[in-house]
């Protein structure tokens, strides 16, 4: 019973922290297809970002959010034609698992200011062009 009360307290504190609409989120729609990955905006304010993903292709696709100062075509890849997630200068922030054709998914991630790339890391897809640069700028108060 004590534990339950504690959980209730934690939940109400969390709700309190979110109350008042203090946190705004930015929605970014992303279309994925062979072999393109197209966000409807390439820059967002820091904070909660809601990626609304739609697989418009005929194959499976996924999406990784990677923080990096490397150029979109300069990420290190391995012999499987995938980007190496733990390579120097590559910081994988979030991943949406492979989506079937026509599937939709929503990926919510809190991003701080910096340079990012969005990419599909199924074998060969990054090299074929499923990558897009993405920038997060300081949120205005």
Nearest residue by C-beta to Cu ion?
A: 120
Pick left, alpha or beta for residue 20 (phi over 0 → left; psi -120 to 50 → alpha; otherwise beta): left
Which lies closer to Cu ion via its Cβ, residue 123 or residue 137? 123
CB of 21 to Cu ion, least distance (A): 36
CB of 61 to Cu ion, least distance (A): 3
Which lies closer to Cu ion via its Cβ, residue 18 or residue 84? 84
- With b for 16 or more beta-carbon neighbours within 10 A and e for fewer, the 61-75 pattern comes to bbbbbbbbeeebeeb
CB of 93 to Cu ion, least distance (A): 18
Cβ–Cβ under 8 Å, residues 135 and 42: yes
CA dihedral 86, 60, 102, 50 (to 10 degrees): 0
Distances in whole angstroms, Cα of residue 59 to Cα of each of 28, 42, 74: 22, 24, 25
Which lies closer to Cu ion via its Cβ, residue 48 or residue 122? 122
CB of 97 to Cu ion, least distance (A): 12
H/E run at residue 12: helix 2-18
CB of 130 to Cu ion, least distance (A): 5
Task: Name the residues that contact Cu ion, by CB under 5 A.
Answer: 61, 120, 122, 125, 130
Which lies closer to Cu ion via its Cβ, residue 28 or residue 118? 118
Which lies closer to Cu ion via its Cβ, residue 47 or residue 98? 98
């Amino acid at each position: 019973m004590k534990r339950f009360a504690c959980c209730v307290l934690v939940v109400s504190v969390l709700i309190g922290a979110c109350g008042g609409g203090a946190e705004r989120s930015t929605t970014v729609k992303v279309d994925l297809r062979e072999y393109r990955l197209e966000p409807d905006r390439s820059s967002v304010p820091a904070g909660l970002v809601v990626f609304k993903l739609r697989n418009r292709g005929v194959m499976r696709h996924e999406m990784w959010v990677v923080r990096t100062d490397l150029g979109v075509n300069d990420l290190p890849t391995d012999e499987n034609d995938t980007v190496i997630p733990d390579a120097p200068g590559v910081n994988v922030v979030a991943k949406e698992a492979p989506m079937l054709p026509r599937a939709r998914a929503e990926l919510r991630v809190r991003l701080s200011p910096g340079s990012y790339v969005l990419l599909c890391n199924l074998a060969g897809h990054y090299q074929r062009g499923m990558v897009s640069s993405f920038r997060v700028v300081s949120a205005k108060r």
